[in-house]
Amino acid sequence: MSRKRKANRRKTHDVQQAIEPLVKRSKSNEDGASTFTTPQGQVLPSCLEKYWRRRHDFFHKYDEGIQIDEVGWYSVTHEVIAEDTAARVAQLYSPTAQSSEEMDFGRLCVVDAFCGVGGNAIKFATWCEHVIAIDIDPVRLEMARHNAQVYGVADRIEFILGDFYELAPMLKADVVYLSPPWGGVSYIDAPVFDLDSLPFHTASEWLDRARLISQNIVYYLPRNCDPHELAGMYPNASCNVELNYIDGYLRAITTYYGELAGYGSDGARTLAL
């Protein structure tokens, strides 16, 4: 890591330490649940405080006006994982690029099927020419649009309000990124995550829908999934199951299907914040 990046990290840490004593806590709200109020005035459930304290891990530009709702705090991807995924996807078009600055933006189009507040869509737009960002929630979709403007990539993202399952037959793209709702935080209590327990549709059904668009699919799922099950969901297709570690802690599993399986790492992937 360069000295400049280290200095920036220290500066961010120092600012964070100065701000966090200003967090105001309340014993309960109208529903009887405890809350806390951020220095920006946002009132959040106390259960989200651990996510808020790591806000710069999700968006390094958080202090520039990033918007995240309650569901977004649970579902947004760590920025280093989103960046790593986007860089790997970009290799389909420019195999030799080592950074987004080196990318020759070509005809690579990525569908982010469940864009949420935009963490992954922003990184795809940093590396790829065009992103189709879909979400069924209008408020969250507008947050994603706003956050993309903060990062300066909104002009490369097409935001669509709708249900990916219904829209898939009408879409055309080179890559589909799947990160469907996991059904809340209780998933981690299971020894092995049940791929049929996803809300609305099973993991296989979401994958089959994505296959209507492209064979090149990225599937982001809980860290307690069975890698053999993930590999078996797309018979006769190339597959690479990647374990996403951040500072030695397993955060999630990303599976790459199709041509994407030929790029990047095999097995565990350790990323540093």
The helix/strand/coil state of 112 is strand
Q: Helices 119-127 & 79-90, crossing angle to 10 degrees?
A: 40
Phi, psi (degrees; rounded to nearest 5) at 246: -125, 115
- CB neighbourhood size of 178 (10 A): 21
pLDDT at 46: 86
pLDDT surpassing 90 at residue 190:
no
Model confidence at 97: pLDDT above 90: no
Q: Which two tokens stand for residue 267?
A: 């097995």
Burial call 23-38: b when 16+ CB within 10 Å, e when fewer: eeeeeeeeeeeebbeb
Mean pLDDT, residues 68-90: 92
pLDDT of residue 1: 40
Quote the pLDDT of residue 52.
87
Element (H, E) at 9: helix 3-19
Q: State the CB neighbour count (10 A cutoff) for residue 9.
A: 14
Q: How confident is the model at residue 241 (pLDDT cuts 50, 70, 90)?
A: very high
What are the Cα distances from residue 89, in Å, to 39, 84, 156? 37, 9, 16
The per-residue pLDDT for 169 is 97
Output the furthest CA–CA distance in the chain (Å, rounded). Answer: 55
Q: Is 84 helix (H, G, I), strand (E, B) or coil?
A: helix
Which backbone phi and psi does 211 adopt, to 5 degrees? -65, -20
Please state the rounded mean pLDDT for residues 87-93.
Answer: 87
Q: Which residue has the higher pLDDT, 3 or 71?
A: 71
User: Does the model's pTM come out above 0.85?
Assistant: no
Give the pLDDT band of residue 101 (cuts 50, 70, 90). Answer: low
Confidence label for 185 from pLDDT (cuts 50, 70 and 90): confident
In whole angstroms, give the CA distance from residue 119 to residue 75. Answer: 10
pLDDT mean over 147-159: 97
**Which one has a higher pLDDT value, 171 or 102?**
171
Mark 141-154 as b/e (b = at least 16 C-beta within 10 Å): bbbbbebbebbebb
The H or E element containing residue 13 is helix 3-19
What confidence tens digit (pLDDT) does each residue in 202-233 have?
999 999 999 999 999 999 999 999 999 999 99
Give residue 258's pLDDT: 93
pLDDT recorded at residue 271: 44
